[in-house]
Amino acid sequence: MKILVSGKGGVGKTSISAMLSLIFSRNGYNVLALDTDSVPNLASSLGIPIGEAEKIVPLAKNDKLAEERTGARPGEGWGILFSLTPSVDDIADKYGVKINDRLKLVVVGSIDMSKEGCLCPAIALAKAFLIHVMTRSREVIIVDAEAGAEVFGRGLAEKFDLNITVSEPTIKSLVIARKLIRMADELGIRNNILVVNKVTDELTVARSIKKVFNYERVDYHIVRYDPEVMKLEMLGEGLDKLGPNSIFFKDVHSLYEKILKLKRK
């Protein structure tokens, strides 16, 4: 099961990705969590202390590893021949951060070349790694994607089994989510779930969804606003600290159950 978590900035992609990864792994699934944000912070949400999280070098910025695997030095990207199919088989094992026995995190970083401004060896390496895990791995893969639509433009989108677009419960945010879901659909991701996060009033949300999506069918899931999530965030603590009775845990757990049902289908 390859799951993409998308959505505009600040809606809760990282929090949902982290909680889902923890829940899948605690239920016996081998999970690989991938952070593809240019400002990665999934590690911290998974409970890695800030000081340690800051030391993780994203794959797309790991020039040393890239040189070792592609034979090209940083800055030599353009016009130089370097292997575009570097060996990446062992990267998750060697460079993945172990969160628990069944959960590993690889901080990939952004592979958006236009953003990074070069066809750097490290980006080529990160991209090769992503394609590799997306085509070969049989684990549950959860990708915390960069805000916006960039993630859909990389020839990777169609490899996902499920796109989860996260939205805030506002009309503006839902309009953007609708756009992202349409895009995912056009790119061939067959399953889409809209997660409306930070909800305080479920009735209004249902109405808003109806208004924005009109007659378009959309599978939606509500995750309520949970002050405990904010509190942990303020303390720099991970979501692994959330108890099973917390609102966020419960609502993401029922999302997990929904995903399992999809999988069975």
Ligand X SMILES: Nc1ncnc2c1ncn2[C@@H]1O[C@H](COP(=O)(O)OP(=O)(O)OP(=O)(O)O)[C@@H](O)[C@H]1O
In the complex with ligand X, the residue whose CB is nearer, 200 or 214, is: 200
What is the strand order of the sheet 31-35 is part of?
97-100, 103-107, 31-35, 140-144, 2-6, 162-167, 191-199, 220-224
Shortest distance, CB of residue 142 to Mg ion, whole angstroms?
13
Q: Out of ligand X, Mg ion, none, which partner does residue 236 contact, by CB within 5 to 8 A per kind? A: none
Backbone angles phi, psi at 67, to 5 degrees: -65, -40
The answer to the question of residue 165 lying near ligand X (CB under 6 A) is no
Neighbours of 264 (CB within 10 A): 6
Give the residue, chosen from 152, 160, 248, 256, that forms a contact with ligand X under the rule CB under 6 A.
248
The answer to the question of residue 108 lying near ligand X (CB under 6 A) is no
In the shown chain, the binding pattern of residues 13 to 32 toward Mg ion, with x for contact by CB under 5 A and - for none, equals: xx------------------
In the complex with ligand X, the residue whose CB is nearer, 86 or 109, is: 109
The answer to the question of residue 112 lying near ligand X (CB under 6 A) is no
The answer to the question of residue 221 lying near ligand X (CB under 6 A) is no
Helices and strands, counts by H and E, the chain: 11, 8
Shortest distance, CB of residue 158 to Mg ion, whole angstroms?
23
First-to-last C-alpha distance (Å) of the chain: 12
Angle, CA 58 vertex, CA 54 and CA 63 arms, to 5°: 120
Residues that bind Mg ion (CB under 5 A): 13-14
